[in-house]
A and B are shown apart, each in its own frame.
Chain A
């Protein structure tokens, strides 16, 4: 047992909290589920390894002394993963500043807060690395099995990337504190965390579309333009790629550099972290002021009041807005594709229907959870003289209204270029929205809106069903947009998935009052 207040003592404390937090997230707070979760993780790991063997096995024998094209493709892929790590690290750092939890206790205790905050930054790096490792492990393992032990270097690169992402996230957040103050930092950091990964993916896709008229990121990375702009093969910029390929000198350099950067960040920023955490805690007393001195109550039926409330809450929540924005950002590549093919009636338009339908399903799932389950004043709603059926109807209308608002411009543009594709997309969007909303309705549970991040752990059946129904409707839309009657097959399969989901839902087993 370590002495109280030492670095190792804090590290033990942080590890225990992190482990219980993770376990609670995986088991949705039900400890009896631990074994089930362990089995599910093992099954998932096995499945991912099988997928990985199929996907990357053929790259296992890439030469240890690669050409420029290989270096560009590996670096591009690593950059993409790193942007996602940076998103996660930014989110962890923002939570570290703004979720007060035990900060009051720590900062008011006689221990040296800098030590705990150093450990906390290190813990953020560890969790970023662990998550990336979990996702990368099947692919690295597949490469090791097929291509030899040299690929183990990729694990080291994951550690280096996680450390560098955390260091940058801490530095970026503290810089934002100085530049725009604690209140705006929360908004900006949350939005950055939500969109940064998406921006890199979409940026590559946008480049591919504008240059080659394809959604393939690889086409862009392998293009002559990129090859011409890329540094020479002996450049330091390729060290991470070389480390992945098993160059141990490059690995040692990349790993050492990133760990030094992280250590420097901890040493330099940990004392400031405490100062900024206090500043962030103080912002709760500064409410946003709305100049509505002349504001009037608007005439509203209960349903209209409910719809308006849902839309206002959504509009004013920067974090939720950024989550929504991320879904919409993924629509930009198809929009670019549409713009590029406008008037030409290109066959690539057939790609748009599934993308739009998929995005609508995912967006509707999130919005439906917020409206149906994420109610911050359930007692108020339940004690109002409005039947549960009317409340639900109004909330569903709020969801469908928001979906209509987001997708109408895309459908309108598509209708001008390809009317049949627009019709198929509209029907698909409607089906995907209705399905996602129905699933949220069947699996509804009372929660606070701030628990949105954890909504997927409260019911994994609902999460999988929502994803499967979106994919199913997207597939149906794709086949239908191609003009084939075979669209009936994925359509019927999706309906079967929905029927099965309904059968096992809590709502079917013990119907609730409507």
Chain B
């Protein structure tokens, strides 16, 4: 009998405390090839969770596995197949998008010729071609976000993790980003993203996880979530608010 393929992300009993518990014994599993959306109120622990997965923050306890690699024991191997895009795109003002992508490719050790071909494709795809050789210092938030996204994709990660990737983007740019992410999932990558735009989660996600108080309080497809609230025809917004309210009441 064939062994099942490893999960793209397998989190067990993850804990992180600051002044209070930010992530409190979180268990989360994401299948390979999924587009998984994490929802939750402000301060629920979404970003903290994802920062621990990407190695930007050390958990107090728990286990994180990325495609079968123990991300805490071998963070370099896990990072090799991951990409992280934060809500505030941090790029270098004095580099051009082309140079930025060259730098990122160098960091991930991607072959120069291969990386260049991918970079040109991404630049074209994201509508950055007219600005590919301009320094990023004058770019709008949307353009910076696109440059950062291209950086996240240039090394062909198997797991792409994005924190609020559509915040502040205009409709055209948001659509481009959504299309790129969908394309990546079709090509076999796994995407995990947080968002406050529920319409995006509703339309794009294969599965949705709802976090509150540092724990996963609900998970599944939109239909699964509706079932959990006992209302079959409500919008995701109503479903989400009902789930969070129920959790708050229980706490």
Pick the contact of B134: A283, A287, A304, A513 (CB < 8 A).
A287
A376 in contact with B56 (CB, 8 Å): no
A376 and B99 CA atoms in complex are apart in Å by 15
CA A52 to CA B115, docked complex, whole Å: 62
State how many angstroms separate the Cβ of A61 from the closest Cβ of chain B: 55
Query: B55 to A317, Cβ gap below 8 A?
Result: no
A405 adjacent to chain B (CB < 8 Å): no
Q: B112, A300: Cβ atoms under 8 Å?
A: yes
Q: Among the listed B58, B111, B138, which residue makes an inter-chain contact with A287, where contact means beta carbons less than 8 Å apart?
A: B138
With A284-B137, A287-B139, A309-B103 known as contacts, the answer to whether A296 contacts B90 (CB < 8 A) is no
A298 CB to closest chain B CB (Å) equals 6
Q: Given known contacts A302-B106, A383-B55, is B91 in contact with A376 (CB within 8 Å)?
A: yes
The answer to whether residues A309 and B95 also contact, given A379-B84, A384-B108 and a CB cut-off of 8 A, is yes
Which of chain A's residues have a CB closer than 8 A to the CB of B94? 312-313, 316-317
Residues of A within 8 A of B109 (CB): 301-302, 385
> Do A316 and B138 form a contact, CB below 8 Å, given A377-B92, A385-B76, A387-B76?
no
Q: Is the beta-carbon distance between B95 and A312 smaller than 8 angstroms? A: yes
- Residues from chain A with a CB closer than 8 A to the CB of B84 are 379-380, 383
Q: Please give the number of chain B residues whose Cβ is less than 8 angstroms from any Cβ of chain A in the complex.
A: 45
Count of A residues near B, CB < 8 Å?
Answer: 41
| Distance between Cα atoms of A367 and B229 in the complex (Å) | 57
A376 touches B93 (CB 8 A): yes
Q: How far is the CB of A399 from chain B (nearest CB, A)?
A: 18
Known: A316-B135, A385-B80. A376 touches B116 (CB 8 A): no
Interface string of A380-408 (1 = CB under 8 A from B): 11111111000000000000000000000
Count A-B contacts at CB 8 Å: 117
* A275-295 vs B, Cβ < 8 Å mask (1 yes, 0 no): 000000001111111111101
For residue B108, which residues in chain A have a CB less than 8 angstroms away from its CB?
302, 384-385
A286 to B136 CA separation, bound complex (whole angstroms): 10
Interface hits, B195-245 → A, CB 8 Å: none
Residue-wise interface mask of A (294-335) relative to B, using a CB-CB cutoff of 8 A (1 in contact, 0 not): 011111111011101100110011000000000000000000
Query: 1/0 contact trace for B113-124 toward A, CB 8 Å?
Result: 101100100000
Which residue of chain A is the closest to B131 with respect to CB atoms? A287
Which residues on the A side are within 8 Å of B95 (C-beta)? 309, 312-313
Considering the complex, which residues of chain B in the window 57-86 have a beta carbon less than 8 Å from any beta carbon of chain A? 58, 76-77, 79-80, 82-84, 86
- In the docked arrangement, what's the CA distance between A378 and B55, Å? 12
Residues of A within 8 A of B111 (CB): 299
Given A286-B138, A287-B136, residue A313 in contact with residue B103 (CB < 8 A): no
Which chain A residues lie closer than 8 Å to B104 at the CB level? 380, 384
A287-B137, A305-B103, A312-B94 known; A386-B116 Cβ under 8 A: no
Q: Which of A308, A316, A317 has the most CB of B within 10 A?
A: A316
**Cα distance A513–B93 in the bound complex, in angstroms:** 28
Q: Which of A297, A316, A513 has the most CB of B within 10 A?
A: A297
Q: Mark A154-198, 1 if CB is under 8 A from B, else 0.
A: 000000000000000000000000000000000000000000000
Chain B hits for A376, CB < 8 A: 90-93
B54 in contact (CB, < 8 A): yes
Beyond A295-B98, A376-B93, A379-B86, is A285–B112 a contact (Cβ under 8 Å)?
no
A317 to B79 alpha-carbon distance, docked (Å): 31
B30 within 8 Å of A (CB atoms): no
Q: List 29 A-B contacts (CB under 8 A).
A: A284-B138, A287-B135, A287-B136, A287-B138, A287-B139, A288-B135, A290-B135, A292-B96, A295-B98, A299-B112, A300-B112, A302-B106, A302-B108, A305-B105, A309-B92, A312-B95, A312-B99, A376-B90, A376-B93, A379-B84, A379-B90, A380-B90, A382-B54, A382-B55, A382-B56, A384-B79, A385-B80, A385-B109, A386-B76
Other A-B pairs beyond A293-B133, A316-B94, 16, CB < 8 Å? A288-B137, A291-B133, A299-B112, A301-B106, A305-B103, A305-B105, A306-B107, A309-B92, A312-B94, A380-B151, A383-B54, A383-B79, A384-B107, A385-B76, A385-B80, A385-B108
- Give me the interface of A with B, judged by CB distance under 8 Å: 283-293, 295-302, 304-306, 308-309, 312-313, 316-317, 376-387, 513
4 closest residue pairs by CB, A with B: A305-B106, A287-B134, A297-B116, A300-B106
